[in-house]
Copies of this chain bind each other. A is one copy, B any other.
Amino acid sequence: MKTAFDILYANNPHKAEAFLDETRARKPLFILTIATTETGKITGISAAGKYPEFTDYTPPADAELLLLGKCKCINGVPVTPDGIPTPALITMSALRLADIPVLVASGGLRVKPQIPFLDLGGNPGRDIRTGNAVDNVAEVISRATLAGEQLAKAADYIVVGESIPGGTTTALGVLSAMGVHAEGKVSSSMPENPHDLKSEAVKAGLAAAGESFGSLAGDPVRAVSCVGDPMMAAFAGLVIGAAGLVPVLMAGGTQMTAVLAVVNGLKPDVLCNVAVGTTKWVVNDRSSDICGIVREIADVPVLAADLDFGGSRFEGLRAYEKGIVKEGVGAGGAAIAAMAATEGAVTKELLLGEIERNYALLMGMK
C-alpha cells in the first residue's frame, strides 16, 4: 500500500495515485445522499439506532450535522446502542477544515431533515424480504443523473457519500441479484458482523421477487427495485451524471460496491472517472472484503483515509479502532478530499483534534 498524505491505496496504486493527482488542490462539492428503509429495522441488522424506529431519524440527523454543525430532528447526535457517535462527526470535521461545500440529496425519507435538500422524487424503502423494496428507481436515477450533470459543471469534482441504516444488507441484495459474490464480504457497523442475518434477508427477498443469484445481472434497475434501497438509485444517478464530466469519489464502505455494480450496468464508460474512498477500518476489516468485491465488478481504485483514533482521549472515538461503526456519511471520502484539497495540510492528527473538539462540544463535555 503506497501512501500519499495520510491516504492509503488499497488495491490499484497507479490508478489511485492518478485519481489523487487529478483531485489534489482542487475543491470538490460533497453531496450526502440520504434515505431510509424498513430493511434497517430488521432485528440485529444495523447499529444505526438503539431502537428500530430511530433509524428513520439517523440519516436526516446526519445531514443536519453536516450543514448546521448540530442536529435538529433529534437531541445530541446519532449514536450506536453502545453510545458510539455517528461517523458524520468525522465528515463534518473534515469538510469544515477544508471549507468544502455540502449539498444533501434525498433518495426517499420517512423523516425530512430541517435543512435544504435536493428532492429526487423517491420514497422510503420497504423491507427487502418483500422482494419489492424500492419505488420509482428508473425515475430517481434519471433525476439524479440530471442533478449530477448540473452540479459537476459548477464544482471542480464531486464526492458523494451516503447515510442509510441497513445499507450493507441491501448492498448484499443488489450484488447477489446481479451475480457478484459478496456473501460474507460486506461490512458491518457492529463489531460482530451478522452475515447470516443479511444472507437470510437477501434470500427471502430474492425468492419473494421470483429472482435468484445473478438473475438480474443485466437489470440493475430491477435489482435495486426488488432488494436494494432508495439511497442507491439517487447515488448511482449522481455518479452517472457527474462522472461524465469530472472525477467522482464514491465515499463509503462496501455499500459502494453495490452502487458500482449499478453504475457499471447502466453506464460503464463513466467508471474511468471514478474512485472509491473509504476508511482504514473498512479496508483492514477481516469480516469483510471491499477490494475483493470491487475486483469482481470493475477496475476501480480504492483509497482509504489512514485515520487512527487509538490515541484519542475519548472512549467513544477509540471504539472505532475496535471495528465499531468503521465508516458512513462519507467519512473516509470526506477525510481524503480534505487532505487532497489542502495538499496534506489536513493531517490525520489535525483531523482527530477537530473531531475531538466537535465531539466534546456536541456532547457537552469539557
A: residues with CB less than 8 A from B are 27, 29, 67-68, 99-103, 105-106, 112, 114-121, 139, 143-144, 146-147, 149-155
Other A-B contacts than A29-B154, A67-B146, A116-B146, 8 sampled, CB-CB below 8 A, are A68-B146, A101-B150, A101-B151, A116-B118, A116-B121, A116-B143, A117-B119, A155-B155
Closest to A145 in B: B116
Q: Which residues of B sit under 8 angstroms from A151, Cβ to Cβ?
A: 101, 103, 154
Closest to A106 in B: B119
* Interface SS majority for chain A: mixed
**Complex Cα gap A279–B107 (Å):** 38
**Complex Cα gap A44–B23 (Å):** 55
Closest to A120 in B: B116
Verify B146–A99 contact, CB threshold 8 A.
Answer: no
**Complex Cα gap A116–B149 (Å):** 11
Q: Which residues of B sit under 8 angstroms from A114, Cβ to Cβ?
A: 121, 139, 143
Given A101-B150, A103-B150; A119-B119 close (CB under 8 Å): yes
**Complex Cα gap A337–B68 (Å):** 31
Q: Which residues of B sit under 8 angstroms from A101, Cβ to Cβ?
A: 149-154
When A and B form their complex, which 6 residue pairs have the shortest distance between CB atoms, in order from nearest? A101-B153, A116-B147, A101-B150, A154-B155, A29-B154, A116-B143
26 contacts between A and B (CB under 8 A): A27-B153, A29-B154, A67-B150, A68-B146, A99-B153, A101-B149, A101-B150, A101-B151, A101-B152, A101-B153, A101-B154, A102-B150, A103-B150, A103-B151, A112-B119, A112-B121, A114-B139, A115-B143, A115-B146, A116-B118, A117-B118, A117-B119, A118-B118, A119-B119, A151-B154, A154-B155
Q: Which residues of B sit under 8 angstroms from A144, Cβ to Cβ?
A: 116
Name, among A101, A105, A120, the residue most crowded by chain B CB atoms within 10 Å (CB to CB).
A101
Q: Which residues of B sit under 8 angstroms from A119, Cβ to Cβ?
A: 106, 112, 116-119
Min Cβ gap A156→B in Å is: 8
Q: Which of B112, B118, B154 contacts A154 (CB 8 A)?
A: B154
Min Cβ gap A248→B in Å is: 14
**Complex Cα gap A139–B112 (Å):** 14
Min Cβ gap A365→B in Å is: 27
**Complex Cα gap A154–B28 (Å):** 7
Closest to A99 in B: B153
**Complex Cα gap A354–B144 (Å):** 27
Q: Which residues of B sit under 8 angstroms from A121, Cβ to Cβ?
A: 112, 114, 116
Min Cβ gap A312→B in Å is: 29
Q: Which residues of B sit under 8 angstroms from A117, Cβ to Cβ?
A: 118-119
